Amino acid sequence: MVKTVSVADYIIERLATEGINHCFGVAGDYVFPICDAVDSSAKVKWIGCANELNASYAADGYARIRGAAMLVTTYGVGELSALNGVMGAKAERSLVFHVVGMPSYQHQRLGKIAHHTLGHGVFGNFVDLSADAACCHAVINPENCVLEMERVIGEARRNNQPAYIAVPSDYARSPVASADVKPIAPRSNEAALQKAMATITEHINNAKSVVAFPAYTILRLGLQKQAQKAIEALGCPFTTTLMEKCVIDEGHPQFAGMYDGALSDSKTREIVEGADLVLDLGGVNLNDMNTAAYSARLDLSRFITVGLDDVRIGDEVIAGVRLADVLSELAKLNPSSSPYRATPQGLARLTGSPSDKITMAALYPRYAAFLRAGDTVVLETGSTSLGLTPTILPDGVRVEVQVLWGSIGWATPAAFGIALADPGKRTVLITGEGSHQLTANDVGAMGRFGANVIVFVLNNGGYLVERVLEENPNWTYNDLAPWNYTELPKALGCADWYTARVTTLGELDAAMKAARASKTGAYIEIIGGKMDMPPALAFAHGRLKAMYGDTP
Ligand SMILES: Cc1ncc(C[n+]2csc(CCOP(=O)(O)OP(=O)(O)O)c2C)c(N)n1
Ligand SMILES: [Mg+2]
C-alpha cells in the first residue's frame, strides 16, 4: 500500500530539503496541522519564539547563514505581527519561507464568522498583506501543493526574498496529490552570460582604473569565496559599505577601506569616486545610512551592476544572468600582473586606563580586540552600527547588520537565529539598550535552545541616535524605562549565564575575558555616556537637511 503524505508533512519535508532544520514561530489553532508536522518531523525542529515579530527576525538571521529559513505563524493575528520582519527580509534579500495556517477552506467557503477575522466572513484580505511582504506566494490545496511549492521555491531562490505560503487547516491535513514536477534551479542563459562577460571584459580592458564593490547580496547567497576569487583575478582594489562589512577580510591586500561618502578615508574616496569603472558585484544599496547622509560622490554612469539575475551597463540590461556565474567567469580571467596592494591597516590601538569610564572611542577598538576568526557579530541599528563599522575587524569575522530596513529590535532575535544556524561559531550580539527593549524576551529562547550568544548591551540612557538626529537632544520620547538589564537572563530562564554590569574599562576588559571563557551564554551591560557618540553620528547631526530634506 502506498503511504499517503499530508499536505502539511509534504510542505515541511520539502522545505527541509532546502537546507532548513529549524522552524521559528508561534503556534495557533489554524496552524496546528503545520506545527504538528514540524513536531513530528525528524529533520526540522520547532523553535518557539516569544512572539511572531521576534520569530521573523530570528528566521531572517538564520536565512542569512543557511540560505533559507522557515517561519510559521497563525492566521491574521500571527502573520500580521510578523510582517515587519518579513518585509525587512524582503528589503535586505533574505529568504524566509513564511508558512501560515488559515481557517479551513470549508469555513471560508461558508463565510463563517470566525476568530482572528474582522467578523464579516471574509478570509482573503490578510493574504494580500502578507503576500506584499514576499516576492511570491501561494494558497495551497491538495491538488496544487507539489506544483506550487516548486514554483514559490524557484521564485524565492531567484530573487532571494521571502515566499508566503498560506495553507487552510483542513487542506493541511488532507493527503497531497502527487505531481510530476522537477525543482527549478535558477541558472543563467548561456548566450546572455557570454554577452554580459564580453561587455564586462571590454569595459575592464578600456578602464584606466577599476574598483570592485562586493554587495551585501554576496553574503546572503553565501558567495564570499567566489567573490574573493573574482576580485583576486581582477587584481583591482575593492571597497565595501557598512552593509557589507567584512564580506571579504579587511586584512586582504586589495581592501581599499570602507566607503562611506565624505566619512571615508581620503585614499578610499579617491579610489572609489575617481575610478573609471565601478564593478558593482551584487547590487550595492546606496542609502542615506551607508553614504554618510548622501555625501557619496559616485557617478552611476561608470557603474556596471551585476544583479542577482541581470547585468546593467548604463541603459543596457542583460537579463537571465546569475551573479554566481558572473563571479566564476571573472575568476577565470588572467590574473593581473600588477594587482593593487595596500598595507593592511591592522587593528586600532587600545586606549584608556582601567579606572577610566567607558567612552565610545575606547570601546570600539576593544570590540575589535575581543572578536576573533570564526565569530559572527550581529550589530543593531543605532549608534553601535554606525560606530563600530568604521573600526577594522580581525580576518575571519562575519558581520550581520540590517542597515537598509533598520528596524530596531532586529538584532537580538537575529543573533538567536544566527547562533542556531551555525552552532559551531560564536555569535556576538552588540546592541543598544533601547533597541534591545523591543525584543529582549527572546533571550529566554536563547537559553531554552542552547544558543550561547555573547550579548553586549550599551546602556547610554536612551535613544542616542535619535537625540543626535534632531536639534533638541532632550525630547522625553528618547528616554527609556530604566531596566535592570543584567537580571534579565536569570528572569528569562538563563540562570547559568555569565552576567556583568560594567562602568570602567578595567571592568569591561575583565568581563570580555570571562564572557569569552564562558561555556554558556554571556550578557554584559556597558554603561556609556548619554551623548557620547561616534564620529559618524556627529557628522550626520551636521547634515540633517541632507538626511531629511529642507523644510518647504
Ligand atoms: C521598529 C523601529 N522603531 C523605531 C525606530 C526609530 N529608531 C531608530 S534608532 C532608535 C533608537 C535606538 O536606541 P538604542 O538601541 O538605545 O541605540 P543608541 O543609539 O542609544 O546606541 C529608534 C527608536 C526604528 N528604527 N525601528
Ligand atoms: Mg541607547
- Give the atom of ligand 1 at the shortest distance from the alpha carbon of 408: 26
- Give the atom of ligand 1 at the shortest distance from the alpha carbon of 433: 16
User: What do you get for the CA distance between the two ends of the chain, in Å?
Assistant: 74
Partners of 350 in the β-ladder? none
Among 264, 305, 257, which Cα is nearest to 285's? 305
pLDDT above 80 (res 191): yes
pLDDT at residue number 550: 82
How many angstroms is it from 399 CA to the middle of ligand 1?
A: 19
Mutation probe of ligand 1 site: the residue of 84, 87, 381, 469 with most atoms within 8 A of C-beta: 381
pLDDT at residue number 275: 97
DSSP class of 539: H
How many angstroms is it from 464 CA to the middle of ligand 2?
A: 5
pLDDT at residue number 2: 58
Nearest ligand, CA of residue 381? 1
**How many CB atoms are located within 10 Å of the residue 109 CB?**
10
Relative to beta strand 96-102, strand 210-214 is: unpaired
Residue nearest to atom 11 of ligand 1 (CA): 463
515-538 pLDDT, tens digit each = 999 999 999 999 999 999 998 888
pLDDT band (50, 70, 90) for residue 335: confident
Average pLDDT over residues 330-339: 88
DSSP code per residue over 301-363:
GGEEEE-SSEEEETTEEEES--HHHHHHHHHTSPPPSS--------PPPP-S-TTSB--HHHH
pLDDT at residue number 546: 85
How many angstroms is it from 412 CA to the middle of ligand 1?
A: 13
- Give the atom of ligand 1 at the shortest distance from the alpha carbon of 436: 15
395-420 pLDDT, tens digit each = 999 999 999 999 999 999 999 999 99
Relative to beta strand 303-306, strand 310-313 is: antiparallel
How many angstroms is it from 431 CA to the middle of ligand 2?
A: 8
- Give the atom of ligand 1 at the shortest distance from the alpha carbon of 431: 15
Beta carbons of 389 and 367 less than 8 angstroms apart: no
Which residues line ion ligand 2, judged by CB < 5 Å? Answer: 432-434, 460, 464
Residue nearest to atom 16 of ligand 1 (CA): 434
pLDDT at residue number 207: 95
Relative to beta strand 22-25, strand 238-240 is: unpaired
Alpha-carbon distance of 27 to 161, in angstroms, equals 24
Residue nearest to atom 1 of ligand 1 (CA): 407
103-150 pLDDT, tens digit each = 999 999 999 999 999 999 999 899 999 999 999 999 999 999 999 999
pLDDT band (50, 70, 90) for residue 188: very high
Beta carbons of 455 and 521 less than 8 angstroms apart: yes
How many angstroms is it from 465 CA to the middle of ligand 1?
A: 7
Residue nearest to atom 5 of ligand 1 (CA): 408
How many angstroms is it from 447 CA to the middle of ligand 1?
A: 25
35-55 pLDDT, tens digit each = 999 999 999 999 999 999 999
How many angstroms is it from 43 CA to the middle of ligand 1?
A: 37
440-498 pLDDT, tens digit each = 999 999 999 999 999 999 999 999 999 999 999 999 999 999 999 999 999 999 999 99
The percentage of the chain sitting over the pLDDT mark of 90, rounded to a whole number, equals 93
Alpha-carbon distance of 485 to 457, in angstroms, equals 8
- Give the atom of ligand 1 at the shortest distance from the alpha carbon of 434: 16
Nearest ligand, CA of residue 88? 1
344-399 pLDDT, tens digit each = 889 999 999 999 999 999 999 999 999 999 999 999 999 999 999 999 999 999 99
What pTM did the predictor assign? Answer: 0.97
Among 429, 454, 447, 445, which Cα is nearest to 494's? 447
Beta carbons of 396 and 249 less than 8 angstroms apart: yes
Average pLDDT over residues 338-348: 92
Partners of 59 in the β-ladder? none
- Give the atom of ligand 1 at the shortest distance from the alpha carbon of 438: 1
214-266 pLDDT, tens digit each = 999 999 999 999 999 999 999 999 999 999 999 999 999 999 999 999 999 99
Buried b (16+ CB within 10 A) or exposed e, 154-185: bbbbbbbbbbbbbbbbbbbbbebeeeeeeeee
pLDDT above 80 (res 1): no
How many angstroms is it from 84 CA to the middle of ligand 1?
A: 15
- Give the atom of ligand 1 at the shortest distance from the alpha carbon of 432: 15
Pocket of ligand 1 (CB under 6 A): 380-384, 406-409, 432-435, 458, 460, 463-466
Nearest ligand, CA of residue 404? 1
Alpha-carbon distance of 333 to 235, in angstroms, equals 10
Q: Which of 290-294, 336-340, 344-348, 421-425 has the highest mean pLDDT?
A: 421-425
Q: What is the residue-averaged pLDDT of the chain?
A: 96
How many angstroms is it from 482 CA to the middle of ligand 2?
A: 11
Instruction: Please name the residues in contact with 254: beta carbons below 8 A apart, sequence gap of 6 or more.
Output: 231, 232, 235, 236, 237, 238, 339, 340, 341, 342
How many angstroms is it from 478 CA to the middle of ligand 2?
A: 9
pLDDT at residue number 541: 87
Beta carbons of 452 and 422 less than 8 angstroms apart: no
Beta carbons of 392 and 345 less than 8 angstroms apart: yes
Sheet harboring 210-214: ordered strands across?
Answer: 255-258, 238-240, 210-214, 277-281, 303-306, 310-313, 316-319
Mutation probe of ligand 1 site: the residue of 401, 435, 457, 476 with most atoms within 8 A of C-beta: 435
Average pLDDT over residues 323-341: 93
DSSP code per residue over 410-476:
-HHHHHHHHHHH-TTSEEEEEEEHHHHHHHGGGHHHHHHTT---EEEEEE-SS-HHHHHTSS-TT-G
pLDDT at residue number 552: 73
Alpha-carbon distance of 371 to 119, in angstroms, equals 53
Alpha-carbon distance of 359 to 159, in angstroms, equals 42
pLDDT at residue number 185: 86
Handedness of CA 278, 281, 286, 289 (dihedral sign): negative
How many angstroms is it from 531 CA to the middle of ligand 1?
A: 15
Partners of 240 in the β-ladder? 258
How many angstroms is it from 382 CA to the middle of ligand 2?
A: 8
Residue nearest to atom 6 of ligand 1 (CA): 408
Mutation probe of ligand 1 site: the residue of 92, 378, 433, 463 with most atoms within 8 A of C-beta: 463
pLDDT at residue number 297: 95
